[in-house]
Structure 1
Amino acid sequence: MPDYEFEMDRAMGALVGGALGDALGMPTQLLSPARIAELYGRVEDFIAPFAGHPVSKGLLAGTVTDDTEQALLLGRILVESGERFDHARWVNALLDWEREVKARGSYDLLGPSTKRAIDAINNGVPAEEAGRSGDTNGAAMRIAPVGIMMPPEPLDAFVSKVAETCEATHNTSIAIASAAAVAAAVSRGVAGGDWYAASDSAVAAAQRGATLGNWVTGGDIAARIVWAQALVRGKAKRDAIRLITDLVGTGVASQESVPAAFAVLEVAGGDPWQAAVISANLGGDTDTIGAIAAGMAGACAGFSRLPQHRVTSLTGIDMAQVQALAADLVAARMSGGRVGKAGSGKDAA
């Protein structure tokens, strides 16, 4: 069984790996592959967005976005909630977060499913009803802390915790399956698994997650993960990237971006930085695909194997707070996924 230091290395790999993928994809998000090439050439390091970028304008090279900020926020709410996830605390935290990012002049705000659900809750709709139409990738992009906190088995308990955190904003079969897949890959990595094992765990979790929440139409997430990885397996990198862009899709829909992230994991051979680089050049929802793919890869590789000179170049992230959160989540994991109201890492910080 992995010890505390091992699990901390993998937990930090997940959180910081996700931040690397997020920050590298920040200046390319919403752009086409052709536009990315025209503006930046091939993105292989942190760069500042062009002056007229629709959501990233004004940000410094290496700045993290909503993907990282919401993942860290969810992690803290998990720690503060105790045994049962506190939906009211989570919704209020998201509202506070959006007010804060607006105050700093950010254009990267709450995603469509989250915004729609919070508006409904503010109009008196119960949390368990508000997320009934949330099927985009917002839950998957921020789910890594659940994978750190919860051991991958028993699977039903693991996926139930994922679904619990999705309820208020993404309470649909597609969103829960997507979030369960990503969380399971992270959890398997923290347990010591490689990216192959993580992919297998993801498929099983997605199959279970698809039976929960409000059923909505769309391709089966587990099947699309298997298909997307097989599609790019053994292909030259350039050809694989084109297949992801043209066939898998890189939009905010869960059934595009989440299988795309697993395809990236395959092409990168589990290397976190390569996963970030590939994602940044795909076009579409590059920061989210990068955050998911590099976060899963980071969980399987560990923080110690991340490119440290690029970690120190990240902007907008407090590494001491990330380490404190990781410590709380790992402590909860080592107690079987149970966490008290006050976490050890937070107290230590």
Structure 2
Amino acid sequence: MARGAGGTVDRAMGALIGGALGDALGMPTQLLSPAQIKRAYGFVDRFVVPEEDHPVSKGLPAGTVTDDTEQTMLLGRLLLESGGCFDHRQWVAALVEWERDVKARGSYDLLGPSTKRAIDAINDGAAPEEAGRGGDTNGAAMRIAPVGIMMPPEPLDRLVAKVAETSRATHNTSVGIAAAAAVAAAVSSGVAGAGWHEASAKAVEAARLGASQGHWVAGADIAARIRWAGELVRGKAAADAIGLIVDLVGTSVASQESVPAAFAVVEVAGGDPWRAAVISANLGGDTDTIGAIAAGMAGACASLSSLPREHIAALKGIDLADMRSLATGLVGARSARAGGKDDAA
């Protein structure tokens, strides 16, 4: 069934704002253990102020987004500026400038380990294809939603190729690209009108394709881990599922932990974006990134109308008009790639 352009933009907005909600809810709990989260905040189901001694979030107001949302917006803008050919050096320059601005604002939440290593290598003269050959963490996956909005889910190999292209400078590895491809495919499917289960299945296909891209690195298969993580928590109560995700799936910055964890979260949440954000915030570890990925994917499938307005209004560090402009531009680029027709569900 054909979908109208307005609905497509709303699902694109669901992905972007859903990601921001998950990011901001997980901002005060990132890097903490589940026990530390419980002691400091109880059960996090609302925006809270970070503790005064938080290692990276101290001083931020409740509801503030972090690098996950800011880099997502940064990548989206560059995708529109680059047109058909992604400019790696412009992307690296944009990341460097973003980091400089973050430091000027006094934030402690800077570039992730893979991105930082790649930027240093490029600044030292390495080619983008080589700079990202060690990037196996979740940085590409956390900011990939704009590629999913811009690229239709079919043909899937074209979507995965675009993911690989945009990931090359920082995460040019089989694991990093497979993880980002899975997230992009889930978002793309949601924007096309798919429900969560269909989007998740498409993500597994994309992860399999993505695993053949980039430099091979040792690590568990992303596609297999996503399927397993979903089966592990299916039908479980949220409290039990949180324990399984923490103990067995893992919540570190490793792609093969945090990305399958995000898919497991959406499974437990029944596709509800805000519930996915809440579950993510209480996991411990890389809560802001897992929340951004999980709620962003769920938001694409459920659309903007499913997101809680009162929590959107409480977000800090984003401009909703700017976000809608970006979503509209990316959907326009998507329509052009689909031959000027709206995507079919």
Amino acid at match of 2:38: A
Give 1:136 deviation, angstroms. 0.1
Aligned partner of 1:104 in structure 2 is 105
- The superposition leaves residues 201-260 of structure 1 with CA deviations (integer Å, 9 ceiling, x where unpaired) of 000000000000000000000000000000000112111110000000000000000000
CA distance, structure 2, for counterparts of residue 225 and residue 57 of structure 1: 33
SS in 1 for 2:216: coil
CA distance, structure 2, for counterparts of residue 95 and residue 3 of structure 1: 38
Aligned-pair identity in percent equals 72
Asked if 2 retains the 8 angstrom alpha-carbon contact of 1:134 and 1:169, the reply is: yes
CA distance, structure 2, for counterparts of residue 5 and residue 306 of structure 1: 17
Aligned partner of 2:121 in structure 1 is 120
Aligned partner of 1:178 in structure 2 is 179
- The superposition leaves residues 141-178 of structure 1 with CA deviations (integer Å, 9 ceiling, x where unpaired) of 00000000000000111100000000000000000000
Give 1:128 deviation, angstroms. 1.1
CA distance, structure 2, for counterparts of residue 158 and residue 237 of structure 1: 33
SS in 2 for 1:80: helix
- The superposition leaves residues 180-219 of structure 1 with CA deviations (integer Å, 9 ceiling, x where unpaired) of 0000000000000000011000000000000000000000
- The superposition leaves residues 262-301 of structure 1 with CA deviations (integer Å, 9 ceiling, x where unpaired) of 0000000000000000000000000000000000000000
CA distance, structure 2, for counterparts of residue 337 and residue 330 of structure 1: 10
CA distance, structure 2, for counterparts of residue 337 and residue 205 of structure 1: 19
Asked if 2 retains the 8 angstrom alpha-carbon contact of 1:150 and 1:333, the reply is: yes
Normalised to the residue count of structure 1, the TM-score between the two structures is 0.96
Give 1:337 deviation, angstroms. 6.3
Aligned 1:209-224 pairs, distance under 5 A? 209-224=210-225
CA distance, structure 1, for counterparts of residue 185 and residue 158 of structure 2: 12
CA distance, structure 1, for counterparts of residue 162 and residue 238 of structure 2: 36
Aligned 1:151-230 pairs, distance under 5 A? 151-230=152-231
Aligned partner of 1:308 in structure 2 is 309
Give 1:3 deviation, angstroms. 1.5
CA distance, structure 2, for counterparts of residue 197 and residue 186 of structure 1: 11
Aligned partner of 1:343 in structure 2 is none
- The superposition leaves residues 304-343 of structure 1 with CA deviations (integer Å, 9 ceiling, x where unpaired) of 110011001000001111011001000001111699xxxx
- The superposition leaves residues 37-83 of structure 1 with CA deviations (integer Å, 9 ceiling, x where unpaired) of 00000000000100000000000000000000000000000000010
Asked if 2 retains the 8 angstrom alpha-carbon contact of 1:21 and 1:287, the reply is: yes
Q: Judging changes above 3 Å, is the alpha-carbon distance between structure 1 residues 300 and 187 closer, same or farther for their aligned structure 2 residues?
A: same
CA distance, structure 1, for counterparts of residue 158 and residue 242 of structure 2: 35
Asked if 2 retains the 8 angstrom alpha-carbon contact of 1:83 and 1:338, the reply is: no
Aligned partner of 1:39 in structure 2 is 40
Equivalent residue pairs, number = 339
Aligned partner of 1:296 in structure 2 is 297
Amino acid at match of 2:158: A
Amino acid at match of 1:94: L
Amino acid at match of 1:194: G
Amino acid at match of 2:195: D
Asked if 2 retains the 8 angstrom alpha-carbon contact of 1:186 and 1:296, the reply is: yes
Aligned partner of 2:343 in structure 1 is none
Give 1:21 deviation, angstroms. 0.1
Misfit runs of 4+, over 4 Å: none
Aligned partner of 2:270 in structure 1 is 269
Amino acid at match of 1:120: A
Q: Judging changes above 3 Å, is the alpha-carbon distance between structure 1 residues 337 and 31 closer, same or farther for their aligned structure 2 residues?
A: farther
SS in 2 for 1:216: coil
Aligned 1:213-252 pairs, distance under 5 A? 213-252=214-253
Asked if 2 retains the 8 angstrom alpha-carbon contact of 1:149 and 1:337, the reply is: no
Amino acid at match of 2:30: Q
Q: Superposition RMSD on alpha carbons, in Å?
A: 1.0
Amino acid at match of 2:302: A
CA distance, structure 2, for counterparts of residue 180 and residue 51 of structure 1: 37
Matched, 1:66 2:67: yes
SS in 1 for 2:16: helix
SS in 1 for 2:47: coil
SS in 1 for 2:6: helix
CA distance, structure 2, for counterparts of residue 293 and residue 80 of structure 1: 27
Amino acid at match of 1:254: S
Amino acid at match of 2:125: G
Amino acid at match of 2:129: E
CA distance, structure 2, for counterparts of residue 4 and residue 310 of structure 1: 26
Task: Mark the runs of 5 or more structure 1 residues left unpaired by the alignment.
Answer: 340-349
Aligned partner of 2:9 in structure 1 is 8
CA distance, structure 1, for counterparts of residue 91 and residue 15 of structure 2: 21
CA distance, structure 1, for counterparts of residue 315 and residue 238 of structure 2: 26
CA distance, structure 2, for counterparts of residue 47 and residue 328 of structure 1: 33
Asked if 2 retains the 8 angstrom alpha-carbon contact of 1:332 and 1:338, the reply is: no
